[in-house]
Each structure stands twice: as structure tokens, then as C-alpha cells.
């Protein structure tokens, strides 16, 4: 694996899984934001980011539902004067710290939904890059 592959992989990880902007990703990897934009388009990082957020959100909902169900069962046992199943109580207490972490993921996902979408059109910089690197055209001086 060459250095470029390492940079691309690290930049993709930062952009997709740390949910950083193009500028933040470029600064962390120490490359030009235009390079990150090219890599992002070529690797379809936006789709990967959406899939990551969707999978996290789906997991959060399942975990909340599961914890809520266990909590209701424990509460029902308490109200009926029945002995509380220790396995259920243990599972519930182990889930509580995870719920905090999940809440952090949800907050990030909410921020990403509220964040204005990046310009998906062709910018002047992107057109210039296509002309220079793909079409072999030299910029007008």
C-alpha cells in the first residue's frame, strides 16, 4: 500500500465515520481540500456516510426499544411484588452506559441532518480540476 492509499483511507475514515467536513478532513490529513473533494466524489463518501448514520440510528432505536422493554418488565415485576430476574436486571444495568454513548451518536446524526447540504453542482474549482487533470487543458493565463 502506497502513501497515497494511506492518505485516502485515513481521509475517508475521518470524513465518513468522524463526520468531519471537507476542510476539517483536509487539515487532519494535511492535503488540499480540492484533493479531498476529488477523493470524496470518486469514492462516493457521501453515500457511505449516509449508510453509516442510518446504521447507527437503526441500532440506537433497537437498543432503546430493548432497554425500554426490559425496564417495563422490571417495573411490572416491582409493582406486582414479584422477584426481579437478576439476569434481566444485570442486562439493563449494563446497557445504561451504552445509552449515553448512543445519545452522542444521535446528537451527531441530528446535527448532520440539520446541516445544509454541500453544493453538489460543479464548482469553478472542480471544473478547472477536470479540465487540467482529465481533459489535459491548460488554464487560461
pLDDT of residue 118: 59
The structural domains of the chain, with segments of one domain joined by +, span 3-134
Tell me the chain's radius of gyration from C-alpha atoms. 23
Stronger pLDDT, 45 or 63, i.e. the higher one? 45
Compute how many other C-beta atoms are within 10 angstroms of the C-beta atom of residue 39: 22
Q: Can you give the pLDDT at residue 138?
A: 75
Q: Band of the pLDDT at 95, cuts 50, 70, 90?
A: confident
Q: Name the H helices within 1-141.
A: 3-17, 22-29, 33-43, 45-79, 86-114, 124-129
Which residue did the predictor score with more confidence, 117 or 103? 103
Tell me the pLDDT band of 100, cut-offs 50, 70 and 90: confident
pLDDT class of 136 with cuts at 50, 70, 90: confident
Contact call for residues 106 and 114 (beta carbons, < 8 A)? no
Amino acid at each position: 500500500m502506497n502513501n497515497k492509499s494511506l492518505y485516502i483511507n485515513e481521509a475517508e475514515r475521518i470524513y465518513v465515520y468522524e463526520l468531519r467536513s471537507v476542510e476539517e478532513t483536509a487539515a487532519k490529513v494535511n492535503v488540499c481540500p480540492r484533493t479531498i473533494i476529488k477523493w470524496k466524489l470518486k469514492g462516493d463518501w457521501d453515500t457511505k456516510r449516509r449508510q453509516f448514520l442510518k446504521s447507527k440510528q437503526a441500532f440506537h432505536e433497537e437498543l432503546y426499544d430493548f432497554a425500554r422493554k426490559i425496564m417495563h418488565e422490571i417495573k411490572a415485576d416491582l409493582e406486582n411484588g414479584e422477584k426481579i430476574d437478576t439476569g434481566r436486571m444485570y442486562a439493563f444495568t449494563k446497557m445504561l452506559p451504552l445509552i449515553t454513548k448512543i445519545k452522542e451518536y444521535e446528537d451527531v446524526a441530528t446535527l448532520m441532518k440539520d446541516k445544509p447540504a454541500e453544493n453538489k453542482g460543479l464548482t469553478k474549482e472542480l471544473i478547472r480540476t477536470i479540465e487540467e487533470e482529465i481533459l489535459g487543458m491548460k488554464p487560461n493565463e
